[in-house]
Amino acid sequence: MQWADVLADASLGNLPYKIELDELGRIVMSPASNRHGILQARLVRLLARLFNEGEILVECSISTHAGVKVADVAWMSAEFNARHGDITPCPAAPELCIEVLSPSNSPAEMTEMIHLYLGYGAREVWTVSEAGDIRLFGPEGERELSCFENLGRPAL
């Protein structure tokens, strides 16, 4: 299955799940809670305060060798947006990709997701716990401060 097939399938449109494709084109679904949605909304408001330019996306689809992955929230610069903004799924990861953790996410799955986003061009990946705690990651591993100018240590 291709991502365009997922988007065109009306039966998948109202599912209460986040949908991704694995490397074999199989649909992978994970349930979304109201808490997950609240944290996504808080992250959008936070990013709107922190970045004066660029675009903020919710449910940003990214094509990878491991299938189409969907970042819960992402920020893309104006330059990235000019190159890839309307392409679905994005052929590269936006500069900042954020995953809101769910009880079903394993540490190994999150490590793989972080590496995928960074490997496809993200400068930084955040994970956000259900309690709202933010962890920041770059190619070197976990970091204390954001690589984005003036962001420091973001908090919800």
**pLDDT (tens digit per residue) in 1-24:** 665 665 566 665 565 556 656 676
Assess if residue 24 is contained within a domain. no
On whether residue 16 sits in a domain, the answer given is: no
Q: The CATH number of the domain where 103 resides is what?
A: 3.90.1570.10
Q: Among 20, 69, 77, 19, which Cα is nearest to 47's? A: 77
* Residue 118 counted as domain residue: yes
- pLDDT over 90 at 85, yes or no: no
In a domain? residue 59? yes
- The residue whose two tokens read 């392409």 is 87
Which one has a higher pLDDT value, 18 or 97? 97
> Taking all residues of the chain, what is their mean pLDDT, rounded to a whole number?
88
Quick one: pLDDT band at residue 133, thresholds 50, 70, 90? Answer: very high
Is the pLDDT at 82 greater than 80, yes or no?
yes
Within 33-84, residue ranges assigned H as helices are: 34-50, 78-84
- How many structural domains are present in the chain? 1
Which candidate, 139, 129, 121, 5, places its Cα nearest to that of 74? 121
Q: Which domain holds residue 110?
A: 33-143
The reply to whether 26 falls in a domain is no
Q: Flag whether 5 is in a domain.
A: no
Provide CB contacts within 8 A for 117, sequence distance 6+. Answer: 62, 69, 71, 93, 97, 125
Q: 8: burial class by Cβ within 10 Å (0-12, 13-18, 19+)?
A: exposed
Q: How far is residue 117's CA from residue 64's CA, in Å, rounded to a whole number?
A: 8
Q: What pLDDT score was predicted for residue 105? A: 84
Q: How many whole angstroms separate alpha carbon 145 and alpha carbon 103?
A: 26
pTM for the whole structure: 0.84
> Which residue did the predictor score with more confidence, 26 or 60?
60
